[in-house]
Structure 1
Amino acid sequence: KLSPPLPLPPLPPKPIPKPRPLPPPSFLSAVHQGNNDWWRYLMAVGLIGSVFFVLTAALSTLALGLGWISLAPDGSVTIRDPLVSYLLSHLPFGFLGLGLWWAVVGLHHRPCRTLIRACGSLRWGRMAQGAAIWLALIISPLAVALLLNPGSLMPQVDWNQWLRLLGLAMVLTPMQIAVEELFFRGYLLQASGLLTQKPWILCLVNGILFMIVHLDNPETGYGLGWLALYYAGFGIFTTWITLRDQGLELALGMHAANNGFVILLVSYGDAVVETPALFSATSFDAAGVVLAFAVRALGFCALFFGIPGLRRDSVPPLQPQGSASEKPPGS
């Protein structure tokens, strides 16, 4: 009598593959989280400009009434205390930031944090990396230049004034660079992405706009053509790294390091804000500023996007998306 064959054991179930994580949304896509009617942008520009100019005029009137500034018969303004000059030049950025927040939240109905990244989060470490690398790229060649020419910097240490400046700079300089970056590389860049997705056009347009608003800086007296090229290059570079890194953090970090260096460590005559920094530059070479900036920008890009150890694999290549010598001027 034949016994029936034993049944074969069931095959183990095939493992269900884990879904691949979706790539983070592109920086330019953040604009679609809000309303983008043309009239909203028209109203936003009017709102931001009105808040900025009205409150800045009120601040100037208050400073004149308090005796912080004096007005000559020919209309020229004199500010004797460099700390007052620094305060009056940076406080208006708070007004600009207020107008920007009002426009983004009240008119476009989207969170302000989407001006930094489309997902709304902030990479603090990325911002710190940008600041540290840019500061190192400024200080390293400057140290070599000092060894070769010790007279290029003159110490002007006044610890009482400098510590007061440090207290103000820890608040006002981050506010100033944050508002500038949020407005130019955040709001305007994302709005421009509604018209074109071509990176080179976005970089060029943003760089030109950034240059235009800085042409009245007094340091352009050292060479308008060279300084115009510097400001345009600064805007183009920060736009490029923002698109390349899909976020505003690197631009925020390097801009903070750039301006912090000029305000706290090395100042120069006819700067947009003359501060009691630790050192004063004895000369200002406009062509050297442009050359030094170009070298720093190339080094910055190589460190963040050209070395495998530091390159972020999740960052896609930059492409269109479908649906003073060694002393940089302040920006």
Structure 2
Amino acid sequence: MFLQQAFLPGNKFWKYILGGLLIFIANVIGQVPLLVAVMVKCFAEDKPMPVVTSDFMNVLNKNLTFFLLLLSFAVALVGIYFVVKIHDQKIKDIITSRMRIDWSRFIFAFSIWAIFQIITTIVGYFTSPQDFLWNFNLMPFLMLLVIAVVMVTIQTSVEELIFRGYFMQGFGLLAKNKWVPLLVTSVSFGLLHFANPEVDKLGNIVMIYYIGTGLFLGIITLMDEGMELSMGFHAANNLIGALLVTSDWSAFQTDSVFKDVSEPGAGFEVVLPVFIVYPILLFLFSKKYNWTNWKEKLTGKLIE
């Protein structure tokens, strides 16, 4: 099973603490180019260096900022590649329990969620056109498309490798069960987004969405014995979001097709995915991939 791939001779939880620290350091190193670029631009224009991190987004042009912002995840990916060697594993071992990565699963989850996002955005545009500003500009958008396809895929894959892969297996090794790694990684994933500008704008209630999404991704990982579905879903969520709609208060400031100019509020749209859409997706995935024995796969014990 997926979590039991961490049960290797000599593999201990302290190695995951060390590995997590090394991945964090790699991520911080990857943030240096953005910091340097902002410093150079401010120096050249004789402007003060931004004090608040979010103000960094307004110094450079959007596409360059977007690329440099996600570059840290590319460096973190290199860190993950070497960290798994501490555990005598390969990258594949923290992605899936199958002999090979099943890319058809990735594509299926990506397609389902991408189509859903595109349809809901179109419906939102035609039902409330006053909430959207046409933001499309061909050349910046084409540049964004190239950057997003590569860098957003890396960013979402890194987050999945860390939470649904590396640490989920690590906490499974520590707790010897499945529900502890599921809950710990889901809450941790949600808290990772606490500093996002969306939380500041919408309030703490939006954490229901982030933690609920982490729980959903953890469930499909455990039920499917691999991360292919969660990686596909996560990639579609961030990629389509970055390409279709931006706003002044979103984490990604991009040259997207639309700009949301409405006054945001955290209400039904926060709970809709978690309590309605995600259960429907779980049902769809379970039927397609013949998931059974839910209680054992989500809460059962792990035997060395």
Q: Relative contact order (C-alpha < 8 Å, sep 6+): which is higher?
A: 2
SS at 1:194's partner residue?
helix
SS at 2:175's partner residue?
coil
1:44 to 11, 15, 19: 19
Verify: 1:227 aligned to 2:206, yes or no: yes
- Where does structure 2 lack aligned partners over 5 or more consecutive residues? none
Letter in 1 for 2:188: L
Q: Provide Cα deviations, 1:242-299, integer angstroms capped at 9, x if missing partner.
A: 0011110110111011101111011122111210100112223322332232222122
Q: Provide Cα deviations, 1:106-160, integer angstroms capped at 9, x if missing partner.
A: x111111111112451111111110111123323344333343232322111011
Distance in 1 of aligned mates of 2:42 and 2:227:
36
Bigger CA radius of gyration: 1
Structure 1 length as normaliser, TM-score?
Answer: 0.81
> 1:291 — aligned with what?
271
Structural RMSD (CA): 2.3
Shift in Å, 1:318:
4.6
> 2:162 — aligned with what?
183
SS at 1:193's partner residue?
helix
Shift in Å, 1:74:
6.2
Distance in 1 of aligned mates of 2:249 and 2:9:
42
Contact 1:132 1:257 in 2 (8 A): yes
Judged with a 3 Å threshold, the aligned counterparts in structure 2 of structure 1 residues 289 and 203 are, in CA distance, closer, same or farther, namely farther
Judged with a 3 Å threshold, the aligned counterparts in structure 2 of structure 1 residues 179 and 39 are, in CA distance, closer, same or farther, namely same
Of stretches 204-213 and 241-250 in structure 1, the one that deviates more from structure 2 is 204-213
Contact 1:266 1:278 in 2 (8 A): yes
Contact 2:41 2:60 in 1 (8 A): no
Contact 1:177 1:256 in 2 (8 A): yes
Distance in 1 of aligned mates of 2:49 and 2:259:
31
> 1:17 — aligned with what?
none
Contact 2:140 2:255 in 1 (8 A): yes
Q: Which has the higher helix share?
A: 2
SS at 2:252's partner residue?
coil
Contact 1:30 1:117 in 2 (8 A): no
Q: Provide Cα deviations, 1:201-226, integer angstroms capped at 9, x if missing partner.
A: 33221121112221111111222322
> 2:254 — aligned with what?
275
Judged with a 3 Å threshold, the aligned counterparts in structure 2 of structure 1 residues 34 and 277 are, in CA distance, closer, same or farther, namely farther
Verify: 1:62 aligned to 2:36, yes or no: yes
Distance in 2 of aligned mates of 1:229 and 1:32:
32
Of stretches 40-49 and 171-180 in structure 1, the one that deviates more from structure 2 is 40-49
1:317 to 274, 294, 300: 294
Shift in Å, 1:75:
2.4
> 1:14 — aligned with what?
none
Distance in 2 of aligned mates of 1:315 and 1:162:
44
Verify: 1:30 aligned to 2:5, yes or no: yes
Distance in 1 of aligned mates of 2:261 and 2:30:
36
Shift in Å, 1:315:
5.8
1:80 to 35, 39, 60: 60
Distance in 2 of aligned mates of 1:92 and 1:286:
30
Contact 1:27 1:243 in 2 (8 A): yes
Of stretches 185-194 and 202-211 in structure 1, the one that deviates more from structure 2 is 202-211
Q: Provide Cα deviations, 1:31-59, integer angstroms capped at 9, x if missing partner.
A: 124642244223212322222223423x2
> 1:212 — aligned with what?
191
Judged with a 3 Å threshold, the aligned counterparts in structure 2 of structure 1 residues 90 and 167 are, in CA distance, closer, same or farther, namely same
Letter in 2 for 1:37: K
Structure 2 length as normaliser, TM-score?
Answer: 0.87
SS at 2:31's partner residue?
helix
